[in-house]
Structure 1
């Protein structure tokens, strides 16, 4: 479908059943996943795959909706679990026309390796393909990884998704203020004259200290209670294949 399928993996020290519930229950899923504003299960018949409706608020005045069909394997002989999804959006302003993906839950000692692989077909022809390559696909990868770490904080530390978002916004604000202050300080040469005989030393040290402050604001690792996409793996360690379950699902269009 796309140029390159997205892969995200994290390790969560949590009970497998609890992780399954937080990711499979729509009311729980939409709390931590930045990609969705609303997720609803639609009525289904006995033995049929689960159909869903999802919506994402792109802007305060614009919500893009779509539908999907999903299925899960909760009991597998190797102890792992899998869920798969095919989705599509008829909304003309949705860059994602259709796609598919899966989640895998792999028990690992005192935790679970939680990973996803998914891909999609963008619309809008060549313009959409270019926008996807340069902006949207990297953004989707970041949003997925950030959301996975947000889920990890919820399960491991009890930090709710709402609190985690506030933590992230607060830290982002502090970093932005440090950068703004440092950049402003780099241009205050006239103020150094007020230091008299120490002006020469200050003229040498101040830019160095301000540059260090900017580097720390840009590159210092996020605080432990703040979700961060960088904590997740963005490429598999070995070759991975989509589960066979995914191929049994019909396109929801």
Structure 2
């Protein structure tokens, strides 16, 4: 599979399964989707679904897929496999497949995914995917997995986690702007009255420290971060046999 993401979640496997297998729950934490709906199915058939992603306020890209899951396995693990495709001409992603695995380890669940897809638009699409879209998809998957972890471990709802992330990003951006441009520096220095010359002398050092913290300080515990997830499989992984049973 082209992309791999793994998160360790300190929660019961039943809880992780519920938050990832129910469309209404899934679409709350997964940044890649705006809407997920199950389609009607006959008894014994795999589950078909429709997904949509709002790319811009006036543009929504939709597609369909089919999924199946193995909830009870002798080793205690669970697996969900899916195939998906989007006929939308503006969707770079044409079709693909992937899986989720749930691996209890005594201290929670190793929740991992592997997936790949075929881009459209020929050579241009392949270059756009390699240089921008695929890294973005990898980041969005990892960020979403950490948002799910915060929901299950700390009770931070996906909506609150997004606000935490936006607020922290805004603060870091403000520190970078002030530190790099000196915007508002004169007014800030005047606040210290007779100590203003000493503060002005120290400002370059203080700004350098602030810029370094804004760039490299780890995200706050309640803020989702892609860096907390494993992005390379620790061992060679194979797609589950269940995936071969699904017809697109």
Tell me which interval the TM-score lies in, with the shorter structure as reference length: over 0.9
Check whether the contact 2:177–2:183 (CA below 8 A) recurs between aligned residues. Answer: no
Structure 1: distance between partners of 2:206 and 2:122: 49
Q: Which residue of 2 aligns with 1:206?
A: 203
Structure 1: distance between partners of 2:130 and 2:185: 41
Superposed structure 1 runs of 4+ greater than 6 Å apart: 186-189, 195-198
**Runs (5+) with no aligned partner, structure 2:** none
Q: Which residue of 1 aligns with 2:246?
A: 249
Q: Does 1:145 align with 2:147?
A: no
User: TM-score under structure 2 normalisation?
Assistant: 0.93
| CA displacement at 1:169 relative to structure 2 | 0.5
Secondary structure of the 2:116 match is strand
Check whether the contact 2:38–2:48 (CA below 8 A) recurs between aligned residues. Answer: yes
Check whether the contact 1:178–1:217 (CA below 8 A) recurs between aligned residues. Answer: yes
Q: Which residue of 2 aligns with 1:33?
A: 30
Q: Does 1:134 align with 2:131?
A: yes
For residues 170-189 of structure 1, the aligned pairs below 5 Å read 170-185=167-182
Check whether the contact 2:2–2:114 (CA below 8 A) recurs between aligned residues. Answer: yes
Q: Does 1:84 align with 2:81?
A: yes
Distance 1:198 1:226, change over 3 A: closer
Check whether the contact 2:178–2:184 (CA below 8 A) recurs between aligned residues. Answer: no
Secondary structure of the 1:109 match is coil
User: TM-score under structure 1 normalisation?
Assistant: 0.92
Structure 2: distance between partners of 1:38 and 1:101: 19
Aligned-pair Cα RMSD in Å: 2.2
* Count of aligned pairs: 247
Q: Does 1:106 align with 2:103?
A: yes
> Could you give the per-residue CA deviations for residues 222-243 of structure 1, whole angstroms, max 9, x where no partner exists?
0000000000000011111110
Q: Which residue of 2 aligns with 1:74?
A: 71
